[in-house]
Amino acid sequence: MASYPVEASDTSGVIDAVNNLLSGPGGLGQDFSGFASYVPAFVTGSTRTPYTSVGVQTTGTTVSGAFTVLLIASFNTESLRVGMTVRTQGLGVATGAVITIIGATTTAGTVVTLDLANTGNYTGPITFLAFPIPRVFVAPIPLGTSQMLDSKTYQFTFASPQAAPPFVPGQGITIAGVNSTYNGDYTPIGVVSCSTTQVIARTREPFTVDPPGSGGTVSYSFTRPDSYKNTYDMSTDCNSKVVVTGGTDRVFVAGQLNNTITYTATTASDLYYTAKITRYRGEPNTDLVNPGFVFQVDETVASKEYEFLSLNGTGTLPVVDTIFSTLVDADIAPGYYWYILDINFYRTSGDIEVTTCELAQRSFTAQVVKQ
3-state secondary structure of 112: strand
Percent of the chain with pLDDT strictly greater than 70: 90
Give the pLDDT mean for 106-122. 96
For residue 111, name the pLDDT band (cuts at 50, 70, 90): very high
pLDDT of residue 155: 97
pLDDT of residue 19: 58
Percent of the chain with pLDDT strictly greater than 90: 75
For residue 7, name the pLDDT band (cuts at 50, 70, 90): low
For residue 230, name the pLDDT band (cuts at 50, 70, 90): low
Residue 1 has pLDDT above 90, yes or no: no
Strands 335-349 and 224-225 turn out to be: parallel
The mean pLDDT value of the chain amounts to 90
Q: How far apart are the first and last CA of the chain?
A: 14
pLDDT of residue 225: 84
Separation CA 169–CA 48 (nearest Å): 9
Please state whether the peptide bond connecting residue 165 to the residue before it is cis, i.e. omega within 30 degrees of 0: no
Closest by CA to 86, choosing from 109, 58, 64, 63, is 58
- The H-assigned helical ranges of the chain are 11-23
Residue 28 has pLDDT above 70, yes or no: no
Closest by CA to 98, choosing from 111, 78, 112, is 112
For residue 227, name the pLDDT band (cuts at 50, 70, 90): low
